[in-house]
């Protein structure tokens, strides 16, 4: 990985220090950073006008394939652009070798690309948090080593290979198995909001898939409600496995009276087929330690009550 081309397709930067710190750290790793001007754009809460952000995305079709595209941050904004994104042209660039990475609001682009073209994108780190010392201001803080290692492996070798050693509360002690299928998913709030639109992969595309989910700042009852929507829409039962990443930065209240994230997940699991594994602890989400996952690629998992391994090559 020699060059990273930045894009800012969603929210404006909340902290002017963050993108600059990320750019500086990446330069110290020997990476040339392109299109840095995008981090300074501001239009209301967005990183530029709709026209500016749309033009920046559509220009990806003309990038040389050795570049890696990384989104600045999430927030909100990509939904506005979906009807005018030149999906086929960008997919052609991806087919020639271009890799495009982000998460959070970027889930909109990834699922839209998958639905429209089947092209593979990367769910992984973004500039502002992941490469900017996790948002810390101290000079001795550095980006997460696990994140950086797996990002480089995904970009340079196009592989994922990770073992999670964590007790799996939604598997019986005797449960063990394996599953293969298309890896897809992302931010739960964004994904649930696309159901029923042309930018959500079809049932045929996702049949037997490996669905990964994460979220931030969402109370467990909201998580349960969105999972219930996916359940009742026939999406969850359509999978060969469900991987749950980080669900972070929410607050429980006195009137929850013991209701927690585990209660929400258990409610969903009870309604799923008994042979459908729901695995927790996937290192992915709004957290420092995260994998880079190929959305739309074939993947394989092996699991038991002690943890799981996920592998993919694309």
- Rounded percentage of the chain residues whose pLDDT exceeds 90: 95
Q: Please give the structure tokens belonging to residue 98.
A: 């271009």
**Per-residue pLDDT, 135:** 46
Phi, psi of 187 (to 5 degrees): -70, 125
- Place 174 in a pLDDT band, splitting at 50, 70 and 90: confident
Q: How many residues does the chain have?
A: 314
**Per-residue pLDDT, 231:** 98
d(CA 190, CA 199): 11
d(CA 135, CA 17): 9
d(CA 165, CA 163): 6
- Regarding the domain delimited by 159-313, which CATH topology (the fold level of the hierarchy) does it fall under? Glucose Oxidase; domain 1 (3.50.30)
* Residue 178 and residue 151 in contact, taking contact as beta carbons nearer than 8 Å: no
pLDDT at 134 over 70: no
What are the Cα distances from residue 117, in Å, to 20, 123, 133?
Answer: 34, 17, 35
pLDDT at 264 over 70: yes
d(CA 76, CA 70): 16
Q: Please give the structure tokens belonging to residue 79.
A: 């939904």
**Per-residue pLDDT, 133:** 73
* Residue 303, strand partner residues: 177, 308
Q: Please give the structure tokens belonging to residue 62.
A: 């003309």
**Per-residue pLDDT, 242:** 98
pLDDT at 307 over 80: yes
pLDDT at 140 over 80: no
- Rounded percentage of the chain residues whose pLDDT exceeds 70: 98
Phi, psi of 149 (to 5 degrees): -60, -50
pLDDT at 136 over 70: no
What mean pLDDT do residues 92-99 have? 98
**Per-residue pLDDT, 314:** 98
**Per-residue pLDDT, 139:** 54
DSSP helix/strand/coil, 296: coil
Options 3.40.50.10740, 3.40.50.800, 1.10.10.10, 3.30.420.40; CATH of 3-157: 3.40.50.10740
d(CA 107, CA 114): 10
What mean pLDDT do residues 139-152 have? 89
9 Cβ neighbours under 8 A, 6+ residues apart: 47, 53, 56, 57, 71, 77, 78, 81, 102, 105, 106, 109
- Place 138 in a pLDDT band, splitting at 50, 70 and 90: very low
What mean pLDDT do residues 64-71 have? 97
288-304 pLDDT, tens digit each: 999 999 999 999 999 99
What mean pLDDT do residues 179-195 have? 98
d(CA 122, CA 103): 8
pLDDT at 141 over 80: no
Q: Please give the structure tokens belonging to residue 175.
A: 């449960």
Q: Could you count the other beta carbons within 10 Å of the beta carbon of residue 108?
A: 29
The angle formed by the CA atoms of residues 199, 205 and 209, to the nearest 5 degrees, is: 115
The pLDDT mean for the chain works out to: 96
* Residue 280, strand partner residues: 244
Pick the catalytic residue from 10, 13, 18, 104.
Answer: 104
Domain residue spans in the chain?
A: 3-157, 159-313
What mean pLDDT do residues 242-260 have? 97
286 in catalytic set: yes
What mean pLDDT do residues 300-311 have? 97
Pick the catalytic residue from 214, 218, 240, 312.
Answer: 214
Q: Which DSSP category does 175 fall into?
A: -
């Amino acid at each position: 990985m020699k060059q990273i081309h930045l894009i800012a397709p969603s929210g404006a930067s909340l902290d002017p220090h963050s993108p600059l710190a990320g750019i500086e750290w990446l330069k110290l790793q020997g990476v040339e950073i392109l299109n840095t001007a995008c981090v300074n754009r501001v239009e209301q809460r967005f990183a530029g006008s709709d026209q500016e952000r749309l033009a920046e995305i559509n220009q990806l079709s003309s990038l040389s394939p050795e570049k890696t595209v990384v989104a600045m941050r999430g927030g909100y904004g990509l939904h506005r652009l979906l009807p005018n994104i030149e999906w086929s042209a960008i997919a052609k660039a991806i087919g020639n070798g271009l890799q495009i990475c982000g998460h959070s609001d970027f889930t909109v682009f990834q699922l839209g690309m998958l639905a429209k073209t089947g092209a593979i994108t990367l769910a992984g780190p973004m500039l502002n948090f992941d490469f900017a010392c996790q948002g810390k201001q101290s000079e001795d803080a550095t980006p997460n080593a696990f994140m950086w290692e797996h990002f480089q492996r995904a970009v340079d070798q196009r592989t994922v290979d990770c073992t999670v050693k964590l007790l799996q509360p939604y598997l019986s002690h005797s449960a063990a198995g394996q599953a293969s299928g298309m890896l897809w998913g992302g931010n739960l709030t964004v994904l649930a909001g696309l159901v029923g639109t042309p930018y959500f992969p079809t049932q045929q595309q996702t049949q037997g898939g490996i669905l990964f989910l994460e979220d931030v700042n969402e109370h467990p009852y909201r998580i349960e409600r969105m999972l219930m929507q996916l359940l009742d829409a026939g999406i969850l039962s359509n999978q060969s496995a469900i991987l749950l990443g980080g669900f972070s930065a929410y607050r429980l209240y006195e009137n929850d009276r013991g209701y927690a994230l585990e209660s929400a997940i258990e409610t969903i699991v009870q309604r799923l087929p008994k042979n459908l594994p729901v695995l927790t602890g996937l290192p992915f989400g709004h957290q420092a330690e995260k994998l880079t996952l190929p959305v739309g690629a074939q993947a394989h998992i092996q699991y038991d009550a002690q943890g799981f391994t996920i592998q993919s090559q694309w």
